[in-house]
Amino acid sequence: MTRSYSGSVWAMLTPAVALIGVFILLPMALTLWLSLQHWSTQTGFQTARFIGLDNFFEIFGPTSVGRDFKGAFLNTAIYTALSIVLILPLSVGLGLLVHQRHVAGGSVLRTVLFSTYMVPMIAVALVWSKLYSPTEGPFNQMLGWIGVGPQPWLSSPDTALVSIVFLNVWQQVGYFTVLAIAGLTQIPHSLYEAARIDGANAFQQFYAITLPLLRRTLLFSAVIAIINAVQVFEPVALITQGGPVGSTNVLTYHIRRVGIERAQGGLGSAMAVMLMLSLIVVIFALFALARRKDDE
């Protein structure tokens, strides 16, 4: 009986495990193996030559390979951090606005907010590159109305990455607002009534009830937002090509340039492994932090 039960468990698990193995674990293992090889992407795996950790030494070394990788890594980290810092509070704020039952047109506002998420990135990139145009762009024209001089936006290494972050926030905030609204609907209304009877004002209700009970939603939003931000590619490829002076050269774009355009498969794989490891560390740290808060 036990043997039969065990057999059926394996029979049921095998398809799922096999699929995960073939489509997730195998490519990850292959990337890890390739990161230890000298290999041109355009040739078969049989041409790969084992070079140990040389690719990793190279990407953290003092040459242009190392400098470009470290620059792209830093750009990705800044882009991700700024995106999270802007998206999460905005999504909660907009979620609270839209969630208010007595606000007229709430569902229309919800649809409008979510619609930005559905616009294809190519259209977003085309429109935003014109909005940011230093000479004829509407943003600079609007700034001119309030006496602020023209900003370089995408044309300066000091502002280009932040400009791409704004574009990302605009496109993604609607999606995260919907997640925030979903979280808000799970909070019992009776808690707010009890708080009001106890004399709590709106801010106290927000900090004592809303924020703590939204923690799981925010954790999920943060994880998804981090993964989305780390994978940023299209706006860079379509608008800035990593420039000026590499200021918008993010890791996915750089890995594509190294691994595909230059066919340096080993180096590109080493960079992909570092990206994967960093993502794992950040996500685990986030969960650990959330667990500690839960324990408290």
Partner 1 sequence: MKLAWTIKCALAAGVMALPTAAWAEPVNISYLTHWAPETVALLENAAKEYAKTNPDVAVTVRAVPFGDLLTTLRSQGGDSEGATIAGIYDLWLPELARDKLVAPAPDAVASEVKGAWPAGIVSAASVGGTLYGIPNEIDVYALNYNKALFSEGGISAPPKTWDELKDAAAKLTKKDAGQQGFGMINSWAAGVVHPFSSLLVSNGGDLVVDGKPALDSKAAGETFQLYEDLITAGVTDPAMGTADANTTGPFLDNFVSGKTGMIIMANWWESALKAGMGEKFSDIGTAPIPVGPSGDKPRSISYSWMTVVNAGAGEAEQKAAWDFLAWLNSPESGPKGASAMADILMSMGILPSRSSDVEALKDRLGSDFLSGYVSVLADAKPFPVVLGGQEFSESLQQTIEALQYGQVSAKEAQANAQADAVSILERAAQ
Residues that bind partner 1 (CB under 8 A): 40-43, 63-65, 68, 129, 133-136, 150, 152, 154-157, 237-246, 256-257, 260-263
Token match 């999606």: residue? 175
Least distance in Å: CB of 63 to partner 1? 5
Least distance in Å: CB of 48 to partner 1? 13
CA dist 127 and 125 (Å) reads 6
Q: Which of residues 171 and 264 has its CB atom nearest to partner 1 in the complex?
A: 264
By the 10 Å C-beta count (0-12 exposed, 13-18 middle, 19+ buried), 217 is classed as buried
Answer whether 91's CB lies under 8 Å from 180's CB. Answer: yes
Q: Which of residues 62 and 199 has its CB atom nearest to partner 1 in the complex?
A: 62
Residue 78 contacts by C-beta under 8 Å, 6 or more apart in sequence? 161
Q: Which of residues 122 and 182 has its CB atom nearest to partner 1 in the complex?
A: 122
Q: Which of residues 116 and 133 has its CB atom nearest to partner 1 in the complex?
A: 133
Least distance in Å: CB of 96 to partner 1? 38
Identify any residues that bridge with 38 across adjacent strands, giving them in sequence order.
49
Q: Which of residues 43 and 111 has its CB atom nearest to partner 1 in the complex?
A: 43
Answer whether 171's CB lies under 8 Å from 116's CB. Answer: yes
Least distance in Å: CB of 32 to partner 1? 22
Least distance in Å: CB of 230 to partner 1? 20
Answer whether 254's CB lies under 8 Å from 232's CB. Answer: no
Q: Which of residues 140 and 177 has its CB atom nearest to partner 1 in the complex?
A: 140
Q: Which of residues 106 and 244 has its CB atom nearest to partner 1 in the complex?
A: 244
**Chain-centre distance of CA 228, in angstroms?**
3
Answer whether 183's CB lies under 8 Å from 153's CB. Answer: no
Least distance in Å: CB of 42 to partner 1? 3
Least distance in Å: CB of 40 to partner 1? 6
For residue 38, give the nearest of 30, 47, 29 by alpha carbon. 47
CA dist 234 and 50 (Å) reads 33
By the 10 Å C-beta count (0-12 exposed, 13-18 middle, 19+ buried), 106 is classed as middle
